[in-house]
Amino acid sequence: MRLGELTDARNLNGVGYDNMISVAFRTSPDLYTWRQRGFPLNVAFRAPPGPIENLQVSRLDIGINGIYLNTTPLAGAVSYAWWRDWIPVFGAVGPYHRAYIPPYDVFGDNALQFFFDTRPLDRGACGATPQDPQMGIDPNSTISLARGYHFAEMPNLAYFVSAGFPFSRMADLSQTSVVLPDSPDSGETSAFLRLMGRFGYLTGYPVLQVAVARPEEEASLQTRDVLVIGTVAHLGSLTDILRNVPVTIDNGQLGVKIGQDLGTIFRVFSSRQATDRRKAAAALTAGTTQDTAFLTGGESPWTHGKSVVALLAGTPQGLDNVISSFRDPTLNPLIQGDFSIVSAKQISSYRIAHTYTVGWLPFWLLPSWWLRGSPGTIVVVMIIGCVILTIALHSALSSRARGRLGSKGDH
């Protein structure tokens, strides 16, 4: 896509020696590429050739979401030609400079940043600069996410708070059901409306097709992603809906599913999930108040690949606190994993339950997914592959050798 399609071309121009140009865009955060290959960003830009700037030391710094990507010297810039905007193109007009955006730096709400850091020529003590330089990004510069596949490991509350994912996969929330108490009070209704407004902001489209259900209307939830909003006292037990979520509601009390211990040997080699489970249980017992809120997620108990996310609190004020934290740049990144506790401007996040996947990958990318983060497994697979290849080659060469010996015996 051309950057000129993402923002007005006038926003791609800057004046002065130090200026920042920002281009905002939104996308789904569930992008997966082969071995984390980056998304190509082709940038063409213009800068005055002189005699004002020292182009040999001036540069253009490129970044995304405040993360540095690349630096290009302005000495490679060319003068801008107005007629280039009128020529149909499928990419940036040359010459352009390429940067790659790592997929893990692409969130739901993104901003490309172009910072022109220019230096004036040394014109002497009495030499004045005739005017501020004018520089800009060519509107025909492009960004492409085409090499990414929509595939993600869930639950991931960071995706939810930053992009509304997985509900925002459909901008109008046509595959989402929101479960509210039978008789929601004004605080729960307000939390619902605020969250729907945030989804509209994140997608740029109103949530026209979202469905609202009561806890007992399970039949309408079985093929949809489910979002639960409410206070613990009003929602009831939600036993079926929260079957795969790492928390339980019992008599108006929230608890963590501890699970069964598997013996001393297994405790010695306990996973991170088990450690986080114990920490979360201790935090629920010791450090919660009526204004504490909880955010948790898991797979739908009815359909593989569908998700359940629950926003729970002891009071409506707690619901208001957790939704406010979504817009707080210091608190938002702290919400991760599948269970978060929000209390008094403090957030604790945990990974308690097992994960599942949503989306699709071609078969040739599945091995890279299965073996990710497992160097020991990769070594074992390589050894097994070498053994199989050795056996196959030995068999083939032995057969050939027997054939050659047999032909010599005939002579």
**Per-residue pLDDT tens for 16-33?**
777 889 999 988 889 998
Average pLDDT on 86-94 reads 46
- Check if the beta carbon of residue 120 is closer than 8 Å to that of residue 53: yes
307-313 and 225-231 beta bridge pairing? parallel
Q: Which alpha helices (H) appear in 204-333, and where do they start and end?
A: 232-235, 264-268, 272-286, 316-326
pLDDT of residue 364: 87
pLDDT of residue 124: 52
Residue 310 CA to residue 241 CA, distance in Å, equals 10
**Domain boundaries for CATH 2.60.120.260 within the chain:** 3-147
Selection from 40-49, 110-119, 122-131, 244-253 with the highest mean pLDDT: 110-119
Is residue 247's pLDDT more than 50? yes
pLDDT of residue 54: 66
Q: Work out the pLDDT band at 89, boundaries 50, 70, 90.
A: very low
- E strands, 214-345, are 225-231, 247-250, 253-256, 293-299, 307-313, 339-343
CATH superfamily of the domain spanning 3-147: Galactose-binding domain-like (2.60.120.260)
- Check if the beta carbon of residue 315 is closer than 8 Å to that of residue 231: yes
Q: What is the pLDDT of residues 300-341, one digit of tens each?
A: 999 999 999 999 988 888 898 889 888 888 888 899 999 999
Bond preceding residue 301 cis, omega within 30 of 0: no
Mean pLDDT of the chain: 82
pLDDT of residue 234: 86
Q: Work out the pLDDT band at 265, boundaries 50, 70, 90.
A: very low
pLDDT of residue 159: 93
Q: Is the pTM of this model over 0.85?
A: no
pLDDT of residue 402: 82
Residue recorded with tokens 């004046």: 15
pLDDT of residue 92: 41
